[in-house]
Amino acid sequence: MPLSPLMLGRLKQALNARRVAVVGASQEQLSVGIGPIHNLIGASFQGDVLPVNPKYSELLGLKCYPTLESIDPPPDLAILLLNQDMALEMAERAAKIGIPAVTIVAGGFREVGAGGQALDRRLLEVATRYEMVVIGPNTLGFSSFHHGLHAIFWHLDARPGLVAILSQSGGVGLTMGNALQSLHCGLSHFIGVGNRTVLDFEDYLEVLKDDPNAETFLLFIEGVEHPRSLYQALKKTALQKPIVVYKAGKNEGVSKATATHTGSLAGEYGLYRSMFKQAGAFEAQSAFDAAVAGKALSMLRAPRGPRMCALTFTAGPCIVAMDKLLGAGWELPDLSSEAKADVGSIIGEKTPVDLQNPVDLTGPGFQPHIYARVLERVLLEDFDAYLLVWSYNPLIRTPIIELESLAKKYADKTIVFVFMAHQLEAAPHMAALHSKGICTYLTPEDGATALNALLFRYHFLKREGAR
């Protein structure tokens, strides 16, 4: 349903809540009731955490309240860790005492048949009557990482960053969040949209598109009932900020599973695919690819055009990447004759290599000072983007300092760095590269996915006259 201005304001307030009640809080390790408390404390939430459970007077060092009504003044948000019937009752009690927003974790609403659908209608009626925001039901909850509001009930180790995840599935959302963590990329928000009884994707996008902490959106979508509304929200947001979409339910046989998961209709995939493209949302083919694209779009501006140069000292990875890049519309013009001559003089005339694009430096290229000198020379050429491939060797210094300097000097060029190494060996280097603004991946396929997302963004903005 379209939200009133008051409800939009309340959603914004909820995502930035400073006083959070956790109803059904527990100190039992195997209970859902411990999750939000543990996460909020662990994330150093700067607001007030207010456990509610008549069994305790104190919980994990916090004062515990017997009822929601005993909290004065009322909190900004109440997280309801109760079964579906009790959650519905508690949501109405919360609304009556002026709590503007609740999160309902429980399932058992429209995804389970007639009885659940009746509960769903009652929940919508309560929310509409009191203009109360309801996140969920059937959700992990949500987190806003920049002020420690880590309020989901499950584990997610995430640093504050610029990517917001909006996911119909808690599990897939966590997968994308963990992938971003492995890529050393932080999150602004994690929102489990769940059954979307009251709030839908378009409502979260409307509130977050103007949030300076949320620069890129990753959406996992099973299905929606009002695709036109989703399209309009995607298009409106994409004109301001990049969006990556991962869609499930591509096959007709999956529709039943999505209906029993979040009560959604998967719909005809071809229509969704066309909608995403027209709206300017880059479609990923896996949760990890969504994270790869999201990192690139949060770190780099869209390129000025489709002209690319690749630089390597090991040809195979570039060939692998080219399969994906050329298929997406990238062009690989040759180097100028002057550039070929200059590169040849840098690597030495005795090096048996036919210089073209991709630029394969072979043996001399793994020397960091030579790699960096060649990179600076090709950065002078008329290319819009650069794919740089480096193969890690602990005996050879990775040219991180030079990369940082050149990336700053040529900030108008789009640069993606592929650092081929075992993930454990790569971790400190990846962290250093990310901290210096170098968009880095471990495989050529991921580098190509990142560049393809950036090229998609270029074409969309050019089409819309937004460049």
Residue 33: predicted pLDDT:
84
Among residues of the chain, what percentage have pLDDT more than 70? 95
Q: How far is CA 354 from the centre of its chain?
A: 41
Residue 449's CB is within 10 A of a number of other CB atoms, namely: 28
pLDDT in tens, 106-165: 987 877 777 778 898 999 999 999 999 999 999 999 999 999 999 999 999 999 999 999
Does 302-463 match 5-297 at the fold level? yes
Average pLDDT over residues 276-303: 98
Mean pLDDT within 370-384: 96
Which tokens is 288 given? 């990890």
In terms of Cα–Cα distance, which of 264, 324, 262, 330 is closest to 289? 324
Predicted local confidence at residue 258, as pLDDT: 52
Position 154 scores a pLDDT of 94
* Token couple for 364: 């001399």
pTM (2 decimals)?
0.93
pLDDT at 255 over 60: no
* Residue 350 confidence (pLDDT) above 80: no
- Lookup result for tokens 């948000």: 77
Mean pLDDT of 166-184: 97
pLDDT in tens, 77-123: 999 999 999 999 999 999 999 999 999 999 878 777 777 788 989 99
pLDDT at 253: 59
Q: Which residues, 6+ apart, have CB-to-CB distance to 129 below 8 Å?
A: 95
Q: What is the pLDDT of residue 305?
A: 97
Pairing of strands 359-360, 414-420: unpaired
Whether the per-residue pLDDT at 353 is higher than 90: the answer is no
Residue pair 153/105 in contact by the 8 Å Cβ criterion: yes
* Domain locations in the chain as residue ranges: 5-297, 302-463
CA distance 175 to 169: 10
Q: Which architecture, in CATH terms, is 5-297? A: 3-Layer(aba) Sandwich (3.40)
Fold for 302-463, please state it: Rossmann fold (3.40.50)
pLDDT of residue 218 exceeding 90: yes
**Percentage above 90 pLDDT, the chain:** 84
pLDDT of residue 256: 53
Confidence check: pLDDT of 257 > 80: no
Helix axes 400-409, 368-379, angle to 10 degrees: 10
Strand order in the sheet with 439-441: 359-360, 308-312, 385-391, 414-420, 439-441
Read off the pLDDT of residues 19-34 as tens digits, 9 standing for 90 and up: 999 999 998 887 888 9
The position carrying tokens 């429209």 is 110
Q: Give the Å distances, CA to CA, from 62 to 40, 80, 99, 145, 324.
A: 12, 18, 21, 21, 53
| Model confidence band, residue 254 (pLDDT cutoffs 50, 70, 90) | low
Q: Is the pLDDT of residue 6 over 70?
A: yes
**Which pLDDT band holds residue 328 (cuts at 50, 70, 90)?**
very high
Distance CA(320)–CA(124), nearest Å, equals 51
Q: Residue 54 has which token pair?
A: 């008549």
Tell me how far the alpha carbon of residue 377 is from its chain's centroid. Answer: 35
- Provide φ and ψ at 282, rounded to 5°: -75, 130
Helix axis angle for 368-379 and 337-347, nearest 10°, is 170
Cα gap 294→305, rounded to integer Å: 20
